[in-house]
Structure 1
């Protein structure tokens, strides 16, 4: 399946999801600074302060299926949610990804944004989604369960900090 067109807008009761823009790069870089120290080093800020805001801005087009998550009441960008991996194995199984600023966590935003993205995938003809999650990331595992994903028992990566687990959801 070819990548499905990225929507200009997905709306929920409290959120608006839109394509990411360079002017929000500072927010996305803040996500890098807030990541759990168990996240692999290549996904955290390095000793030289990279990625910089400019680095993040330059890479925003690399994953067009990721959408900025805006709070509807303030238009503040609080993270991203979307789909990656179209056309990569397994075929026709894009991966749901999401990440929110710490200040936005614990409010149900990840579940709400995820529901909108799952609906977009279903309406676009996708038959199944996958998601990977670290075994220690209990909050994200709960979000995925609320979205109807089930853990397969497959480990897709191991590190000293834990295992990355595969979850799937049939649409």
Structure 2
């Protein structure tokens, strides 16, 4: 299930975002301090869905938080970008695919015409997930992102409402 974040999510959010394997291809460093996680979760819970900028959906399974899906709404509300994070214990079970598909359905129903995504080229699981959802690989930026002390390649993906 996808839903809004709530205060009760802080401990689980801190735990999976602090896992070095989960954070490996992400823009944050592990561990995530609980105070920082508390501020992030409070901001997620208070955010306005559909407003320009990032909106994070909590991904819940059996009553517990197992990850999140973020949508960055463009100011024109016809373009968006998607990102996702799932706790390592829940990876490989199709939960991310299901959660991202649900969020995509939601944003396309709200009038978005195109959703983009990018991932570290070494993150083959994320690239496969995007392709499974119908995203087309649109580019490969060589040594584009400075991440955790090294230059990394980015893969670019896109999905239109017609797709």
> Structure 2: how far apart are the matches of 1:155 and 1:43?
20
Aligned residues between the structures: 147
Q: TM-score, normalised by structure 1?
A: 0.76
Give the counterpart of 2:36 among 55, 78, 82: 55
SS at match of 1:94: strand
Give the counterpart of 2:68 among 71, 74, 80: 80
Kindly report the root-mean-square deviation, in angstroms, between the aligned alpha carbons of the 2 structures: 2.3
Give the counterpart of 1:143 among 117, 129, 140: 129
Deviation at 1:32, TM superposition (A): 2.5
2:84 is the alignment partner of 1:103: no
1:6 alignment partner in structure 2: none
The structure that is strand-richer by fraction is: 2
Q: 1:130 to 1:62 in 2, by over 3 A?
A: farther
Residue pair 1:134, 1:165 contacting (<8 A) in 2 also: yes
Q: TM-score, normalised by structure 2?
A: 0.79
Aligned positions of 1:121-140 closer than 5 A: 121-140=107-126
2:59 alignment partner in structure 1: 69
Residue pair 1:25, 1:54 contacting (<8 A) in 2 also: no
